[in-house]
Amino acid sequence: MEVLDAALPVLAATLRLATPLLLAALAGLVSERAGIVDVGLEGKMLVGAFAAAAVAAVTGQAVPGLLAGIGAACLLGLVHAYASIALNGSQVVSGMAINIIASGLTATLALIWFRQGGQTPPLPPGARFLSVVLPGTEALAGVPVLGRVYATLLGGQTALAYLAFALVPVSAYVLGRTRFGLRLRACGEHPAAADTAGVSVARLRCAAVLIASVLCGIAGASIATAQGAGFQRDMVSGRGFIALAAMILGGWRPWPTLLACLGFGLLDAAAIRLQGVAVPGIGQFPVQALQALPYGLTVVLLAGFVGRTVPPRASGVPYVKER
């Protein structure tokens, strides 16, 4: 029982913290499998978070906020698509620019509109995505172990969390078993082959960038209106890059990416739990080490010291018909 007492909150927090990571990592995955590198996940999540919180604060409802978050992320996604697909510009530069624009834009608008030092007003419960109580929770409450697991781990998450986890099999299916997925993979590996097979590379990559934007918008909304209760400056705080790391660790495949996100969520949950805990010999537990672990792991993995990941062959390369 004691183990369960200690583990359950951490595991529940893991799922909660993994949700936005997972959504963003799947966004990056869809985009990069189509051949468009997306280092702008962070920025798109940030505008998503801001728009979601702002609209939720004004309307008092969570769903319009979510839609606004998706819409805002898509606007930035269109900029990325225009730069990297229509103009064959540098995808990395475009992504970095989007991050910086998002940071400046959200802070500016938040200050102008809400005048609360760059935040939105705190959201009332009605304007947020709240924990869902699964049917049968009460009936199972008396069952030892299972009852509590059902109530706080399987249940007790927000609708956006369930959506995020459901998207893993969905994206695996779409990528592997559908026409759209086949064309997407072809565009990311060898766009000229897709083109000569009658597939419009530009249209497909555009669709991929927009799907990624929608996912980033949801991820942002989940940070501001599900995990949190309002927008704060730069509140995404690097999660876009952690998501990128999870995607790389997952080898650009949905199921392994889920594992990586859960792992990073667990690290984050553990870091929160261990904050301020004294460790004999070193004093306070160095939570920074836990927080830095995902980045370090990504470097190690990319360098091929453990295993090897191979990115989609044409990712980051503009498709130009050339002689």
Partner 1 sequence: MSGAPAAALPHWVDLALLPLLNLLLALAITAGLMLLTGNDPVVALTALAMGSLGSADAVGYTLYYATDMAFAGLAVAVAFQGGLFNIGAEGQAVLAGIGVALAALHGEALPAALLLPLAVLAGAACGAAYAAVPGWLQARRGSHIVITTIMFNFLAASLLVYLVVNVLIAPGSMSPETRRFAAAADLPSLSALGFPSSAPVNLALPLALLAAGAVWLLVWRTPWGYALRVAGESAEVARYAGIDQARMTVLVMALSGALASGVAVNELLGAQHRLLLGFTGGYGFTGIAVALMGRNHPAGVLLAALLFGALTQGGAELAFEAPDVPTEIVVLIQGLVILLTGALGNMLRPALLRALRRRGG
Partner 2 sequence: MILPPEAPPAIELRGIDKRFGAVHACRTVDLRVEAGTIHGIVGENGAGKSTLMAIMHGFYQADAGEILVRGQPAAIRGSRDAIRLGIDMVHQHFMLVERLTVLENVLLGAEGGARLAPGAARARAELARLGDAYGLRVDPQARIEDLSVGAQQRVEILKALHRGAQILILDEPTGVLTPQEADDLFRVLRALRTQGCTVLLITHKLREIMAVTDRVSVMRAGQMVAHRDTAATSAAELGELMIGRRLLPPPPRSAPQPGPALLEARGLVVRDAAGVERVRGIDLALRGGEVLGIIGLAGNGQGELLETLAGMRAPDAGEIRLRGRAVFPGRDFNAAALRRLGLGHVPEDRLRSGLLSRASAADTAILGYQGDPAYRGRLGLLSPGRIAGHGARLMRGHDVRPPDPTLRAGLLSGGNQQKLILAREIERDPSVLLVGQPTRGVDIGGIDAIHRRLLACRAAGKAVLVVSVELDEILALADRILVMFDGRVVGELPAAEATEGRLGLLMAGIGPERASAAPVPA
| Binding interface with partner 1 (CB under 8 A) | 39, 79, 82-84, 87-94, 96-105, 107-109, 111-113, 118, 238, 241, 244-245, 248, 283-284, 286, 288-289, 291-292, 295-296, 298-299, 302-305, 311, 320, 322-323
Task: Map residue 278 onto helix, strand or coil.
Answer: strand
**Does 321 interact with partner 2 (rule: CB under 8 A)?**
yes
Helix segments in 200-253, DSSP class H: 201-222, 239-249
Of 253, 263, 261, which Cα lies nearest the Cα of 172?
Answer: 253
Give me the least distance between CB of 173 and partner 2, in Å please: 10
Task: Map residue 284 onto helix, strand or coil.
Answer: strand
Considering the complex, state which of residue 96 and residue 140 has its C-beta at the smaller distance from partner 1: 96
Sign of CA dihedral 267, 102, 123, 225: negative
Distances (CA, A) of 141 to 65, 151, 155: 34, 8, 12
**Does 178 interact with partner 2 (rule: CB under 8 A)?**
yes
**Could you tell which of partner 2, partner 1, none binds residue 108, using a CB distance below 5 to 8 A set by kind?**
partner 1
Residues 49 and 185: beta-carbon distance below 8 Å: no
33 secondary structure, DSSP code: H
Give me the least distance between CB of 255 and partner 1, in Å please: 22
**Does 90 interact with partner 2 (rule: CB under 8 A)?**
no
**Could you tell which of partner 1, partner 2, none binds residue 200, using a CB distance below 5 to 8 A set by kind?**
partner 2
Of 214, 236, 244, which Cα lies nearest the Cα of 49?
Answer: 236
Of 23, 289, 316, 64, which Cα lies nearest the Cα of 188?
Answer: 316
Of 254, 214, 260, 269, which Cα lies nearest the Cα of 17?
Answer: 269
**Does 200 interact with partner 2 (rule: CB under 8 A)?**
yes
**Does 194 interact with partner 2 (rule: CB under 8 A)?**
yes
Give me the least distance between CB of 49 and partner 2, in Å please: 33
Considering the complex, state which of residue 165 and residue 241 has its C-beta at the smaller distance from partner 1: 241
**Does 144 interact with partner 2 (rule: CB under 8 A)?**
no
Considering the complex, state which of residue 254 and residue 265 has its C-beta at the smaller distance from partner 2: 254
The footprint of partner 2 (CB under 8 A) covers 177-183, 185-186, 189-190, 192-200, 313, 321, 323
